[in-house]
Structure formats: structure tokens, C-alpha cells
Amino acid sequence: MEHLTLLRHGITEGIERSLLYGSTDLPVTERGLQELRARAARGIYPAPGGALVVTSGMLRTEQTLRAIYGELPHRVWPSLREIDCGVFEMRPFTELERDPAYASWLAGTPLQTGETFSQARARFLRSLRRMRRQPQDILAVVHGGTIITIMQALFPGEGRRDFAWLPEPGCGYAVDLSARSYRCIG
């Protein structure tokens, strides 16, 4: 793989309502689908060419792929799914910021269900290693957390942390691995 395109799924109810969600299989909203189609019509997304196209298999990534590219053959890599936030799924951030258990989870305390950030990060990095072993370029329609982790791993010298790599819904990055460069999409 020489080129990697990472696209974040379109707007969901979770984004509109400022909810924490990862494993909840939310669809893209109608507004989100319209925005994706409009961007695609303006030609902002790279052509897939001979790239291996992958999604996480979650509804929002499948809908995003279809809204941008139509019925495009692709593979599902479940390891690219967003973090499972366990008991914190679908709760508003305004509520979570007052919850000591949430603060503890953010600091790395495991949940009875769900994942820690380090567990999700390890899964995303395994996916990146798998991508790098592919002979062809990759176009991946995935999630914000997945993109953040992969971009931090590819460009550690950028000094970006936490959510600085998070693209807007329907946006992402086109990465040229041989030139060690990227450009924003969207």
C-alpha cells in the first residue's frame, strides 16, 4: 500500500445530539446523506481506482460508502469498528462530564462491558498493520476514533493529540505513505 484514504462516516443522530456512541449501530441521518451526496457531486472525494475498499461494516459506514460511491464492491473489516463505550453508549457528553465513573474510564479503568481506549487503539493499530501488508492502495470508510489512532501512528511528529486529528463527518485524509504526507478531504 502506497496510498491510504480514510473517510469518516456521515452525520448521525449521535453527532447531532452530542452523544457518546461507538458500538451502537446508528444510521447516517437524511441530512448527513444529503451532505455526502452533495460533496460527492462536487468531486471532493478521490476516485477509488484500483484501491481495496473497506468499511467497518457498521450501518453508518456502509451508508456513507454508498452515498459517495454507489454500489462499490468492498470488504468489511470489523476490526475497524469504533470503540465500544459500554455503559456510556448513547449518553450525552453534558451528562458524562459529571460522572466520576466516566472520568475513571477515560483514565484507563476497564468496564465490565465495552473497551478501554488502549484496547481499541491496539485493535486499530492491528488493522493498520494489516493495511500496510496489502499490495494495493486502500480506501477506508470508518469512524472518528479509528482515524485519530491511525493518523497519530502514521504522523507522530505532528504533535497532534487526542481529537486534533478528528475530521468532520464525511471528511477525512488522503495519505501518501511514500512521501510521508497527507491532505485533508472535505
Question: Which tens digit of pLDDT belongs to each residue from 14-25?
Answer: 999 999 999 999
pLDDT tens digit string along 145-164? 999 999 999 999 776 777 89
**pLDDT at residue 39 above 90?**
yes
Average pLDDT score over residue span 60-65: 98
How far apart are alpha carbons 170 and 76 in whole angstroms? Answer: 19
Paired sense of beta strands 19-20 and 3-8, if any: unpaired
**pLDDT at residue 46 above 90?**
yes
- pTM of structure: 0.95
Phi-psi map region of 74: left, alpha, beta (phi>0 left; psi -120 to 50 alpha) = beta
Instruction: Please give the CATH topology (third level) of the domain spanning 3-185.
Output: Rossmann fold (3.40.50)
pLDDT of residue 157: 78
The label of the residue with cell 486529528 reads 165
Mean pLDDT, the chain, rounded, equals 96
pLDDT of residue 126: 98
How far apart are alpha carbons 51 and 2 in whole angstroms? Answer: 10
pLDDT of residue 111: 87
Residue type, 51: A
Task: Name the grid cell of 19.
Answer: 452523544
pLDDT of residue 172: 98
Question: Per this entry, what is the length of the chain?
Answer: 186
pLDDT of residue 48: 96
Asked if residue 152 lies in contact with residue 165, where contact means CB atoms within 8 angstroms, the answer is yes
Task: Name the grid cell of 77.
Answer: 473489516
Q: What do you get for the CA distance between the two ends of the chain, in Å?
A: 23
Asked if residue 143 lies in contact with residue 22, where contact means CB atoms within 8 angstroms, the answer is yes
pLDDT of residue 112: 87
For 112, counting Cβ atoms within 10 Å of its Cβ (0-12 exposed, 13-18 middle, 19+ buried), the class is exposed
Burial 62-72 (b: 16+ CB within 10 A, else e): bbbbbbbbeee
pLDDT of residue 163: 82
Average pLDDT score over residue span 79-96: 97
Per-domain residue ranges of the chain: 3-185
